[in-house]
Amino acid sequence: MSLLVQTLSIGASQSILDAVKCIEAGALQIAFVVAEDMRLLGIVTNGDVRRHLLQGGMTDQPVTACMNQEFRSVRFGVPREELLKAFDLGHNALPGLDTEGRLVEVYTRQMAASAEVPVLARARAPVRMSFCGGGADLTYFFVDHPAAVLSCTVGLYAHATLIPRDDGRISIFAEDLGHEEHYNSLAELLAVGDKSLLATIVAVIKPKYGFDLYLRSDFPVGSGLGGSSAATTATIAVFNELRQDRWNTYEIAELAFQAERLCFGIAGGWQDQYASAFGGFNLIEFENQRNLVHPIRLEDSIRNELESCLVLCDTGISHDSGRLHELQRQEMEAESSQTELLHSSVALCRRMHHYLIRGELQDFGRCLDEAWHLKKRFSSAISHGRLDDIYSAALAAGALGGKLLGAGGGGFFLFYVQPQHRQRIVRAVRDLGCQTQNFRFESSGVTSWRTKIQ
């Protein structure tokens, strides 16, 4: 029961004089007559008292003798919108009743704004689809040789939810893996030697409050879509949502690189974090002194045609991108020809960028085939007999080109095919035990928001 209810309510057995005293004590000039169980029986104003006295009534009579039983009330907890409309129609005070008709609140035009309630944060980050340039985004290459990659993001996401706690405890739930971790404090988490990826991200951010963190994904582990980077980016963004001094998109991507590559130790390049953070079609350039993300503005017709001509194929073979990147690095250090291959990859990337922005998509599709044959020369571990069989079957069914996404060894193939031949491709790869995955391009990068804790 609110203080206003206590001040303005009187019992049914009290006198009219008591009602006058109650009315005069409050600025609203009104009294609410209630039964012993606080059910609202009627309302009394100065006008009701005057009418009663003019009709010969006495002030020592029970207040029920002059109360008005034809009153407007609202249910307790009514939306503010409904109250504002009632006040705008001339009402100064409205009794708020519970389901039993008991007086719980008195609403006035001076009602306070809603009290602040606890919030949780959510974020989602899309995975990337790399067309060309992968491998050139490795630091040991671009510190000496300018590099570029061409990629886009698609509507498959890593989803993160962060629920702050008051007790300093930390709980982490990796829902896809069925794995959870619990710590009594941040200090306890930091003291752990062999951390999970999510715990490593927390160790980099070092939040000053306890929380429950949940992560789930729309894609399988080892897909070649940069899934671990999307998960890392979403996790950083969900903490960023609750910061007063927020990190910008470059800072989010760089924190993701720090957590995933340097602290957790997954070998790999830089493109995945930037792609997931920025979203859309991008040409990303890497140099020793700076990394730059150049958004690509495609005409709708080009974007729609490209989306219609691409087939995403899950080989069902998981891969270890970190091991493949480490192997590529070793082979590059041993053979100078690796550097020339990466230069060729960067040059091809710029050609594909040209074809893409001009809508010359047939040439773009053929370049995917060039990119695949070039990629296979980086390391003997990138492809094997089953992957070669899948690729050959797709080309025989009508694909102009394609490539394995990610570091290689498994995951998803991307094929370019004219839509009228699409079903032939789908049947051909399914006959080899693969599944095709529908997708749409995603123009936004990592997105975060907050909502009330229900």
> Mean pLDDT in the chain?
92
- 249 & 360 share domain: yes
Q: What is the pLDDT of residue 381?
A: 73
450 found inside a domain: no
- From 108, 132, 163, give the residue that closes a domain: 108
CA distance 440 to 436: 13
Q: State both tokens at 326.
A: 């480490």
- From 108, 136, 163, give the residue that closes a domain: 108
- 136 & 83 share domain: no
Q: What is the pLDDT of residue 194?
A: 93
Letter string b/e over residues 294-306, b meaning 16 or more CB atoms within 10 A of that residue's CB: eebebeeebbeeb
Q: State both tokens at 280.
A: 């859309």
Q: What is the DSSP string of 30-75?
A: EEEEE-TT-BEEEEEEHHHHHHHHHTT--TTSBGGGT-B-----EE
pLDDT at 166 over 70: yes
CATH number of the domain that residue 263 is part of: 3.30.230.120
Average pLDDT over residues 40-60: 94
Identify whether the C-beta of residue 198 lies closer than 8 Å to the C-beta of residue 235: yes
- 96 & 180 share domain: no
- Lowest-confidence range among 110-114, 194-198, 305-309? 110-114
- 102 & 125 share domain: no
451 found inside a domain: no
Q: What is the pLDDT of residue 94?
A: 93
pLDDT at 289 over 90: no
- What backbone torsions phi and psi does residue 130 show, to the nearest 5 degrees? -90, 125
453 found inside a domain: no
Spell out the residues 6+ positions from residue 245 whose beta carbon is closer than 8 angstroms to its own: none
- Is residue 218 part of the annotated active site? The answer reads no
Question: What confidence category does residue 434 fall into, taking pLDDT thresholds of 50, 70 and 90?
Answer: very high
pLDDT at 336 over 70: no
CATH number of the domain that residue 48 is part of: 3.10.580.10
What type of residue is 447?
Answer: T
Q: State both tokens at 450.
A: 């907050």
Question: What confidence category does residue 397 fall into, taking pLDDT thresholds of 50, 70 and 90?
Answer: very high
Q: Which pTM does this prediction carry?
A: 0.83
Average pLDDT over residues 422-432: 95
193 found inside a domain: yes
- 164 & 247 share domain: yes
What's CA 402's distance to the chain center, in Å? 30
26 found inside a domain: yes
pLDDT at 413 over 90: yes
- 161 & 256 share domain: yes
- 89 & 199 share domain: no
* Range ranked top by mean pLDDT from 24-28, 77-81, 356-360: 356-360
113 found inside a domain: no
- 345 & 399 share domain: yes
pLDDT at 157 over 80: yes
pLDDT at 433 over 70: yes
Q: What is the pLDDT of residue 116?
A: 84
- Lowest-confidence range among 276-285, 319-328, 433-442? 319-328
Identify whether the C-beta of residue 153 lies closer than 8 Å to the C-beta of residue 127: yes
pLDDT at 240 over 90: yes
Question: What confidence category does residue 319 fall into, taking pLDDT thresholds of 50, 70 and 90?
Answer: low
Identify whether the C-beta of residue 198 lies closer than 8 Å to the C-beta of residue 215: yes
- 131 & 274 share domain: yes
pLDDT at 321 over 80: no
Domain that holds residue 18: 3-108
454 found inside a domain: no
266 found inside a domain: yes
pLDDT at 243 over 70: yes
- 77 & 147 share domain: no
Q: What is the pLDDT of residue 327?
A: 60
Q: Is 345 helix (H, G, I), strand (E, B) or coil?
A: helix
pLDDT tens for 95-108 read 999 999 999 999 99
CA distance 294 to 444: 14
Give the H/E segment covering residue 127. strand 119-132
CA distance 191 to 186: 9
Spell out the residues 6+ positions from residue 300 whose beta carbon is closer than 8 angstroms to its own: none
pLDDT tens for 249-281 read 999 999 999 999 999 998 889 999 999 999 999
- 302 & 425 share domain: yes
- Lowest-confidence range among 34-43, 174-183, 215-224, 415-424? 215-224
Average pLDDT over residues 155-171: 97
Which residues on adjacent β-strands are paired with residue 119? 452
Average pLDDT over residues 6-21: 93
pLDDT at 66 over 90: yes
- 80 & 213 share domain: no
What does each C-alpha distance from 3 to 27, 40, 104 come to in angstroms?
14, 16, 10
- From 45, 80, 108, give the residue that closes a domain: 108
Q: How many Cβ atoms are within 10 Å of 283's Cβ, its own excluded?
A: 20
Which residue out of 272, 300, 363, 389 is catalytically annotated?
A: 272
Q: How many domains are there within the chain?
A: 2
Q: Is 449 helix (H, G, I), strand (E, B) or coil?
A: strand
pLDDT tens for 186-235 read 999 999 999 999 999 999 999 999 999 999 999 888 788 999 999 999 99
